[in-house]
């Protein structure tokens, strides 16, 4: 479809990369990404990329360190092969939750990863629903930040709910995004006032807003252990909510998260395919919507030097 463009992928999410390439009418360029006998990562670019606009699709999802190192090494290989420009397409940006010093003697790992990407030789980054907006400022190279709201809104509009909707933000920091959903779905707005006891444990203190006899949609950027989501679901149910859905961009679902979700009051969890969903994590309660069309359109616009603001202006 495009002259002078090459699309590569590592082992993190080849299915998503293929879907994006299909929407672009392109194909995945050849690359060997394997392991040496001592488990070091081996990379060889099999096609000529000299003078080309290269897009490398690799979410840094679990196993995060493996996928991040693959990404860095592939960037280095492509840079040394004289590519004109390298754009790292990272639908899920790992280490994003470590974005500030909230305790003494802890790292700001999101900034470290931003530095690693720039030093490896990437020219541009394309990502989706960062955990914290300020991470955009950690990069000294252009970063395009997309939002998955359109995919979720389209999904819920098709359901044609008969009862009144209320969009629920899981914390104060998510109010802006929740308000955008509420506006698009013509719904009410509520906020979960919670206290975090540890990185894996939270306690809901209050529900701010009217949720009784309504259908609630919790919106968030990431679900890992599922503990926060389940605690919020319990509180909403106790407050008289009829049905509870969740729209979460990155369905990491680590540990026994799916098992806990299956036993919860949650009617359905809708996630995107920003990270792969293995067979053991699939459930009747988990529904996946694709962000491949969104990412493909962004890649097309970046390659053709067009504005992509229409894609992330939610």
Please determine, for residue 6, whether its predicted confidence score (pLDDT) is greater than 80.
yes
Topology adopted by domain 5-147+292-312: Rossmann fold (3.40.50)
pLDDT tens per residue, range 225-245: 998 899 899 999 999 999 999
Average the pLDDT over 193-220 and give the result. 79
Q: What pLDDT, on the 0 to 100 scale, is given for residue 243? A: 96
Average the pLDDT over 275-284 and give the result. 91
Q: What pLDDT, on the 0 to 100 scale, is given for residue 281? A: 87
d(CA 163, CA 100) in angstroms, rounded, equals 40
Q: What pLDDT, on the 0 to 100 scale, is given for residue 158? A: 94
Please determine, for residue 197, whether its predicted confidence score (pLDDT) is greater than 70.
no
Task: Give span(s): CATH 3.40.50.2020, the chain.
Answer: 5-147+292-312, 149-289
Q: What pLDDT, on the 0 to 100 scale, is given for residue 173? A: 82
Bin 39: left if φ > 0, else alpha if -120 < ψ < 50, else beta: left
C-alpha torsion sign, points 97, 99, 100, 105:
positive
Q: 314 falls in which pLDDT band (50, 70, 90)? A: very low
Q: What pLDDT, on the 0 to 100 scale, is given for residue 198? A: 58
Tokens of 116: 């690693």
Percentage of residues of the chain with pLDDT beyond 90: 84
- Average pLDDT value for the chain: 93
pLDDT tens per residue, range 52-72: 999 999 999 999 999 999 999
Q: What pLDDT, on the 0 to 100 scale, is given for residue 195? A: 64
Is there a contact between 75 and 58 (Cβ–Cβ < 8 Å)? no
pLDDT tens per residue, range 116-146: 999 999 999 999 999 988 999 999 999 999 9
Global pTM reads 0.93
Is there a contact between 11 and 61 (Cβ–Cβ < 8 Å)? no
Q: What pLDDT, on the 0 to 100 scale, is given for residue 163? A: 82
Q: 206 falls in which pLDDT band (50, 70, 90)? A: confident
160 noted as active-site residue = no
Phi then psi for residue 179, to 5 deg, are -65, -35
Please determine, for residue 201, whether its predicted confidence score (pLDDT) is greater than 60.
no
Q: What pLDDT, on the 0 to 100 scale, is given for residue 102? A: 86
Q: Per the residue annotation, which of 52, 111, 194, 214 is the catalytic one?
A: 194
pLDDT tens per residue, range 9-54: 999 999 999 999 999 999 999 999 999 999 999 999 999 999 999 9
Instruction: Kindly report the CATH number that applies to the domain delimited by 149-289.
Output: 3.40.50.2020
Q: What pLDDT, on the 0 to 100 scale, is given for residue 279? A: 87
Which spans in 25-148 are helix H? Answer: 64-80, 109-120
Q: What is the DSSP string of 245-305?
A: EEEEEEE---TTHHHHHHTSS-SEEEEETTS---GGG--TTEEEE--HHHHHHHHHHHHTT
Q: 162 falls in which pLDDT band (50, 70, 90)? A: confident
């Amino acid at each position: 479809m495009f002259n002078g463009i090459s699309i590569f992928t590592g082992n993190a999410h080849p299915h998503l990369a293929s879907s994006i390439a299909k929407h672009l009418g392109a194909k995945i360029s050849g690359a060997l990404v394997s392991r040496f006998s001592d488990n070091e990562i081996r990379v060889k670019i099999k096609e000529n990329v000299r003078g080309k606009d290269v897009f490398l699709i690799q979410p840094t999802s679990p196993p995060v360190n493996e996928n991040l190192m693959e990404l860095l090494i592939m960037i280095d290989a492509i840079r040394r092969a004289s590519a004109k420009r390298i754009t790292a397409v990272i639908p899920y940006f790992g280490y994003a939750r470590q974005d500030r010093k909230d305790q003494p003697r802890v790292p700001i790992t999101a900034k470290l990863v931003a530095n690693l990407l720039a030093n490896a030789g990437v020219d541009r980054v394309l990502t989706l629903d960062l955990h914290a907006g300020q991470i955009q400022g950690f990069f000294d190279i252009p970063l395009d930040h997309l939002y998955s709201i359109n995919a979720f809104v389209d999904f819920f509009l098709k359901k044609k709910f008969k009862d009144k909707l209320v969009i629920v933000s899981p914390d104060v920091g998510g109010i802006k995004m929740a308000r955008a959903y509420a506006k698009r779905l013509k719904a009410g707005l509520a906020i979960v006032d919670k206290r975090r006891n540890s990185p894996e444990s939270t306690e809901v203190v209050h529900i701010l807003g009217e949720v009784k006899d309504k259908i609630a949609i919790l919106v968030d950027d990431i679900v890992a252990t599922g503990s926060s989501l389940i605690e919020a679901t319990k509180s909403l149910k106790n407050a008289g909510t009829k049905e509870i859905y969740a729209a979460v961009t990155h369905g990491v679902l680590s540990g026994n998260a799916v098992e806990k979700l299956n036993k919860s009051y949650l009617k359905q969890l809708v996630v995107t395919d920003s990270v792969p969903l293995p067979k053991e994590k699939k459930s009747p309660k988990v529904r996946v919507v694709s962000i491949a069309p969104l990412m493909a359109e962004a890649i097309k616009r970046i390659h053709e030097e067009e504005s992509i603001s229409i894609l992330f202006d939610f």
